[in-house]
Structure 1
Amino acid sequence: MKIVRLGVLLAATTALSPAVALAQESAATPAAAESDDNGVGDIIVTANRREQSLLSVPIAISAVAGDALASKGITNSANLQDAVPNLQISSPYGNTQPNFSLRGISVANEYNSNQASPIGVYIDDVYMASRTSHGMGLFDLDRVEVLRGPQGTLFGRNTTGGAINFITRGPSLSGSNGYAEAGYGNFNTITAQAAVEATLIEDQLGLRIAGNYLKSDGLIDNVFPGGRDPNRQNTLQGRATLRFNPGGGPLDIKIKAYGGRDHGTQAAIHGLLTARTGLKFFEVNENRIGLNRTDAYGIAATISYELSPSLSFTSITSRDGGSQLIQQAADGAPIDILDVWWKSKYQQFSQEARFNYGADGLNLVGGFFYGWDRVVTDNDFAIGQALGPGVDGGFFQHYRQERRSYAVFAQGDYEIADGLTLTLGARYTWDRSKYRDGFAYLYAGYVDTAKTPIATTVPCAGQPGTCAYDPDARFASNGRDNALTGRVSLSYQFDAGPLVYASYNRGYRSGAFNGGSYTSSGGINYVDPERVNAYEFGAKGRLADNRLTYSAAAFYYDYSKQQLQDLRPGPVGILVNAPKSEVYGAELETNWRASDALTLNLAVGYLHATYKELVLQGADIAGNDLPFAPRWTAQAGADIRLFDTGDAKLTFSPNVAYFSRQFFSPLNEVNAPGTGQQNAELQQGSYAKVNATLALEIGRFTVKGFINNAFNRKTYAYGLDLRGAGFPYPFLVPAAPRTFGGSVRVTF
């Protein structure tokens, strides 16, 4: 059955490719791309830890250039779904702590900051362990590579769904260049970007410095008198990269340091239904719109040494850290029902060392990895007058989580016959986790007032609120996992024709502690790792005198033990494993350079992702769709050169992104017995959003206008049903309204 489904999907996908003009490479051509006079540029990617043409890599990859991100209106990692098929991005916190869902694999209904994303996120090959660090503004990038499917061999743990690698621009060691850009838009939005690169010693020493600034009023209007507007933006980021290639020899050293902060306001919440009376979709009535404060910083050193023409060594060392304080009014009401302050600090260190060998039809990469990360969490859950009339109260929660990961890996590509290549890869991972210094207590007071402890809830062997307050009580636990992951692939490159491939990949996401249990220590459990066995067929190539490129893939996943939250009476959130899920689908990406003045692009994804076995809140939901997994996604766009006089050029770049219906909860439309839930509200119907840019280039200057969500579509990005936790309302997060503006850019 697996092979039949894969064959049907691949046949349907590849049959479309000659007829459809689609997007991978006009939206994705990095600065390093090469092209002939008529064809589409060749994209160079590093998905196999070495430079290769995208069309020669037997993996489903979308590569989006930094300049193309801007033309599609993508300025933050949380908007990347507008350029990649079968990718969804959601968050209860706006652009902060985004949840990536790739081919249906995501964190599901889990929202705690201690959990690792099943989509590995990397910056210049450095794994970013904390999801707090994933909500980044995108600036001065060479490209973004999105690898769909498990990447457990060369990228490692926590890549059951895939990996996203953000690759920044670094010094080229030749000449000097730079740019500066300033813009203004509605909601009093001010933007500024700049980068400058200087070659201090030609071919040997160079420095590149880049920065990004964004500030705006709230994108949603708060009608509460004197209240803050939600979705206000205030971002400042900087990065400096020093590259040293002494004597132009075999040693190449790159040192990168960065820092940034985002100090906006919380995402808007549609909550208590009676508080929504008379309000428009992009309005709230909330007395406690809080602040979103995230900070990130780090330094990384990449050292490469060419030992011989066929053997090289690479070392990547990084140290990163940051913090978040999200003050979230979770009730969407002008009264105090539920206000949460999510507070955490994180640190991480990683070291990867690998060797690359290439000669006589064999390409081999192997090495080891070590990673350590720590998150310290202090959450405050204020529950209004739940303790009694006129008595405010809540829960305070603290814990420290540390994780260590060790791995050895190797992958080889061997040409066993002309055009026929066999790939074999394996990785063995040891993961060790600690939950320490855990405590929680019930208090009288509120998030911003003095608190009087009443009862210890963690650790507590009895029902919540029944254990006397003990300031010295602590909870601790350990977790450990070992995993073997790998890849087997067979690919064939036709002479001057397409690449076809078939592959098997095994992915793994390490076990996890429940970070959301604060009413009872009974909920602080460690759950099993996720695993996926993935089968994929694909084809890539060029048609029409190299003017059209295409990439098609069909896939089938045996997906087991997805980690998600189950709500138990108390209320106590328990982290559980979904025993078994089935995922299959297909994708097609193409790009057609119809003429010198017109390039068309299109990406289409089909996805069927369902639970085969799962019981949540006492409801059997086998057959339900996985959350954040729409059946259909599509992106289409064009670059239309309206005129080109040689001295001036005007280009119009419209694009549209379509998503079919998706659910926000594994329960879909099923209401758990005895809860009062109305889960049918927790979904977003099919929709399309249109973005466009108009750019006039005159010499070194570019004047650009843009519009995003041109038709002001009213959509939700996230949802929970808090009625299951005893609160009388749902929790829905609206996506951004229409934004527009312009900018001026000068290059030098």
Structure 2
Amino acid sequence: MRFITTKALAILLCSGVSQVALAQEAASAPQSTADNGDIIVTAQRRSQSMLSVPLAISALGGETLQNKGISNSAALATAVPNLQVSSPYGSTQPNFSLRGISVANEYNSNQASPVGVYIDDVYIAARTSHGMGLFDLDRVEVLRGPQGTLFGRNTTGGAINFITRAPKLSGTNGYAEVGYGNFNTFKAQAAIETTMVEDELGIRVAGNYEKGDGMLRNVAPGGRDSNSVDTAQGRVYLRMKPGNGPLDIKIRAYAGRDRGAQAAIHGLTGPNTPGQGFFDINENDVGENRTDAWGVAANVALELSPTVTLTSITSYDGGKQNLQQAADGSPLNVLNINWRSNFRQFSEEARLNYEGERLKLVGGGFYGWDRTITDNRFNIGSALAPGVDGGFFQHYRQTRRSYAAFLQGDYDLTDKLVLTLGARYTWDKAKYGDAYAYLFAGPFGSAGTPLASTVPCAGVAGTCAYDPAARYAIDGSNKALTGRAALSYTFDGGTLVYASYSRGYRSGAFNGGGYTSSVGITYIDPERVNAYEMGVKGRFLDNKLTLSAAGFYYDYSNQQVQDTRPGPVSFLVNAPKSQVYGGEVEASLRPIDGLVINLSGGYLHATYKDLTLQNTDLSGNDLPFAPRWTGTAGFDWTIFDTGSDSLTFSPTVNYFSRQYFSPFNGTDAVGTAQNNAELQQKGYAKVNATLAWAHGPFQLRGWINNAFNRKTYSYGLDLRGAGFPYNFLVPAMPRTFGVTGRFSF
């Protein structure tokens, strides 16, 4: 175990955070709150006031998401310190980075996110399904730091739990809203809940729809604008509590689809091209992001006694992606990719909760299975010779199984001092099979004629004779012991201080990017994190100030990153050692009635201690998507409130310092044509705002995001190292604005 350095210890003692929840009561269905107004969360698999949980946690309620203009998971970075969200596919398949831990430069759909994503405590394996629209939520809980005990699976960076609104088994309620914004964007959302038998049987139905034109103009003649929106989602939630007794059954089913145009690409052409602005593209073949997701889950809780509850959570989910991506950013046919994958997963978790006078226990078992079937096609202009097009086709089937047993207990050493101990043992098994890939000849848009097998093939692409029956397969497995130990102390005034140690684990992985040679398709080692954290949270100044702060130090090993070598052959490799430390702090102040001031900030130092890619030493470089400084400042000002009418103004400014998109940072590999200095975004600030008028059950809200139209990139990828004469950059969204009307009952 590495000793904490003096500098890191200073950060631990002096820095900020667990995020104070900014959530407020939603007009139609308030999120769970205690009698004193504290937000109730289930971060430790039981209901607790957020200010009493010795974890760095953020909780955002439905109204907060609405006021901040957060309509999909990709926008959460504007509300959670040290969280970044990026993707080469727009809002599809977002890459979450918490405190610098992310998938780095890995973009293949078969990889598990190191930030576990959950819907109502159900782990969602497919990253494509993480880009969901947010609607009819009770709250979103973001847990920073390894969650290697109670959440467990692939949570080296943390966990995000989207908690939907369940029927309350009392009365009827709901809402309906419609909105219109620039780019001819129409939005509609509604929910209705009814109780068939008071306290025993209820159902809630919710839906979400959004359709809009492309947000980045295409200057290519006849070209389609990019980043259009066309999404629809629905959810049905049935709850049964027979005889209002000890049995509580919740069954939730959902389905959704997305048909928007692909994310904009700056590649061969960009904002420095005459006639093309930053929010323009010049692309002859803009593709479509076609994704589908669906699932059903049953949460069955049985109160065996006043102190013991048995809970079973069973789920089956599926989905698919068909992303047609013009990846050259030009009116030429240079690179066009069709990313296609089909996903299935099943999970079962059974746990017992014990609530004694001094001892509280949560323990149980978990089983998860997921499968990915992938068929990708890479069309490359002049791939075989000048003017002779071709490319690669890739197919594989990946299955993963995970078994785990876990136990965590909180013991009151005194009435103020609590000891937390937890452990989880995990067995992971994975198979990569039915794999083949080949080099083909043929124009863009055609199936192509196979020329040579590349998987299986240990040589340079094109050197192995085509064999339609050839297949490649490998297995992998890991075992890991993870856990948590913490001490927390609550002062008489309610202030909580805590210190903790946690170990996180992300299972080994196959290289989904290996299609030019089977040499690069291996099963690499799992990631591990040893995390140390100290924090404080509480209310001050006669409860006018809510403050939360924490500092952390991570010993991070074996981050899984891509390494493209001459051939070109893509390898998935481990970065042996990284060091991460920093902190967050957030405050919510009510200086006068009708005014709430929200401030937050994060500092992050995330660097590789040992890393070599493409025979280039990158030790000392920053981890990707890990800006040193982040900050948010805003307020909610109720300009007037007559009892029947109110007007509230809520502006927010978000700041992010420079971040790199690649482990190379600004370093170019020796002997290549790389220009990695392009793969970064310098520091910037963006302003969002809403103005909401409420009259009884009616609300009219005007909103604007990126008010000053800041020009920024959200993702970048090195393609020069792969032999293309450009890098791949994804511009973030331009200014958007609109108005929304809502009726609640």
Category of TM-score, reference length = shorter chain: over 0.9
Q: Is the 8 A contact 2:413 2:419 kept in 1?
A: yes
Aligned residues of 1:637 and 1:653 also touching (Cα < 8 A): yes
Corresponding residue for 2:498?
501
1:380, 1:738 → 2: CA distance? 34
Distance 2:500 2:443 in 1: 55
For the pair 1:519 / 2:516, whether they are aligned, the reply is yes
Map 1:40-189 → 2, pairs under 5 A = 41-189=37-185
Letter of the 2:77 counterpart: Q
State the partner residue of 2:291: 294
Work out whether 1:272 is the aligned partner of 2:299.
Answer: no
Give the corresponding residue for 2:711. Answer: 714
CA-to-partner distance for each residue in 1:239-279, whole Å, 9 max, x for gaps?
A: 00000000000000000000000100100000014893331
Unaligned runs of 5+ in 1: none
Question: Structure 2 counterpart of 1:9, which letter?
Answer: I
Match of 2:203 among 207, 226, 229: 207
1:723 alignment partner, one of 709, 720, 725: 720
The Cα of 1:224 is off from its aligned counterpart by 1.1
Aligned AA for 1:467?
C
Residue 157 (structure 1) shift: 2.1
Equivalent residue number for residue 242 of structure 2 = 246
> What residue in structure 1 maps to residue 550 of structure 2?
553
Distance 1:367 1:3 in 2: 37
Determine the C-alpha separation between the residues in 2 that align with 1:556 and 1:199: 49
Map 1:304-703; keep pairs closer than 5 Å. 304-703=301-700
SS of residue paired to 1:746: strand
CA distance in 2: counterparts of 1:625 and 1:161, whole angstroms: 16
Give the TM-score normalised by structure 1.
0.97
Matched-pair contact (CA < 8 Å) for 1:516–1:573: yes
Q: Distance in 2 between matches of 1:422 and 1:199?
A: 42
Q: Which AA in structure 2 matches 1:666?
A: P
Q: Is residue 276–residue 284 contact of structure 1 (8 Å, CA) maintained in 2?
A: no
How many angstroms apart in 1 are the aligned matches of 2:442 and 2:273? 27
Q: Does 1:283 align with 2:268?
A: no
Cα distance in structure 2, aligned partners of 1:144 and 1:256? 17
**Conserved 8 A contact 1:218-1:233:** yes
Give the deviation of 1:594 after TM superposition. 1.8
1:675 CA displacement = 1.1
Give 1:446 shift: 3.8
Q: Hey, what's the Cα distance between the residues in 1 that align with 2:274 and 2:627?
A: 30
Match of 2:391, SS state, is strand
Q: Indicate conservation of the 8 Å contact 1:585/1:605, yes or no.
A: yes
Aligned AA for 1:665?
A: S
- AA in 2 matched with 1:605: G
| Cα-to-partner distance string for 1:50-99 (whole Å, 9 max, x where unaligned) | 00000000000010111101100110100000000000000000000000
Give the conservation status (yes or no) of the 8 Å contact 1:657–1:690: yes
Task: Give the aligned length.
Answer: 739
Q: State the alpha-carbon separation in 2 of the partners of residues 233 and 471 from structure 1.
A: 39
SS in 1 for 2:15: helix
1:529-569 alpha-carbon deviations (Å, 9 max, x no partner): 00000000011111011111111100000000000000111
Deviation at 1:619, TM superposition (A): 0.7
Q: Check conservation: 2:333, 2:444, Cα contact below 8 A.
A: no
CA displacement at 1:28 relative to structure 2 = 5.8
CA–CA distance in 2 between the matches of 1:205 and 1:365? 28
Mapped to 2, the partners of 1:200 and 1:627 lie a distance apart of 52
* CA distance, structure 1, for counterparts of residue 109 and residue 251 of structure 2: 29
SS at match of 1:121: strand
Q: Residue 5 of structure 1: which of 3, 7, 12 is its match? A: 7
- How many angstroms apart in 1 are the aligned matches of 2:20 and 2:487? 23
Matched, 1:233 2:198: no
**CA distance in structure 1 between the aligned counterparts of 2:293 and 2:391, rounded to whole angstroms:** 29
Deviation at 1:34, TM superposition (A): 4.2
Match of 1:531, SS state, is strand
What is the rounded CA distance, in whole Å, between the counterparts of 1:446 and 1:689 in structure 2? 43
Using the alignment, how far apart are the partners of 1:493 and 1:500 within structure 2? 7
How far apart, in 2, do the equivalents of 1:102 and 1:32 lie? 25
Q: How many angstroms apart in 2 are the aligned matches of 1:57 and 1:507?
A: 19
Partners of 1:130 and 1:450 lie apart in 2 by 27
Aligned-residue offset at 1:428 = 0.3
- SS state at 2:514 partner: coil
Q: Is the 8 A contact 2:19 2:81 kept in 1?
A: no
CA contact (8 A) 2:23 2:62 kept: no
SS where residue 737 of structure 1 aligns? coil
Give 1:7 shift.
4.2
CA distance in 2, matches of 1:572, 1:550: 50
1:24 aligns with 2:26: no
Opposite residue 347 of structure 1, the aligned amino acid is: R
1:448 offset after TM fit, Å?
A: 1.6
Amino acid at match of 2:496: L
Partner of residue 738, structure 1: 735
Question: Cα distance 1:401–1:597, how it changes in 2: closer, same or farther (>3 A)?
Answer: same
| Contact 1:380 1:447 survives alignment (8 Å) | no
Identical residues among aligned pairs (%): 68
TM-score, with normalisation over the residues of structure 2? 0.98
Residues in 2 aligned to 1:666 and 1:569: alpha-carbon distance in whole angstroms: 18
Deviation at 1:369, TM superposition (A): 0.1
How much is the aligned-residue C-alpha RMSD, in angstroms? 1.4
Q: What is the rounded CA distance, in whole Å, between the counterparts of 1:654 and 1:433 in structure 2? A: 47
Judge conservation of contact 1:204–1:245 (CA < 8 Å) in 2.
Answer: yes
CA shift for structure 1 position 647: 1.2
Structure 2 unaligned regions, length at least 5 = none
Q: How far is 1:27 from its partner?
A: 3.9
> How far 1:4 sits from its partner (Å)?
3.4
- Cα distance in 2 for partners of 1:12, 1:531 equals 26
Contact 1:251/1:304 (8 A) holds in 2: yes
Q: Secondary structure at the match of 1:5?
A: helix
Q: Do 1:103 and 1:161's aligned partners in 2 also have CA atoms closer than 8 Å?
A: yes
Specify the SS of the correspondent of 1:215.
strand
Deviation at 1:3, TM superposition (A): 6.1
Contact 2:665 2:679 in 1 (8 A): yes
Residue pair 1:23, 1:591 contacting (<8 A) in 2 also: no
Give SS of 1:467's match: coil
Which deviates more, 511-520 or 387-396? 387-396
Counterpart CA distance in 2 for 1:278 and 1:259 is: 42
Equivalent in the alignment of 2:219? 223
The offset of 1:389, in angstroms, is 2.6
CA distance in 1, matches of 2:75, 2:501: 30
Amino acid at match of 2:97: S
Higher mean displacement: 165-174 or 590-599 = 590-599
Counterpart contact for 1:29–1:64, Cα < 8 Å: no
- Counterpart CA distance in 2 for 1:42 and 1:697 is 24
Task: Quote how far apart the aligned CAs of 1:504 are.
Answer: 0.3
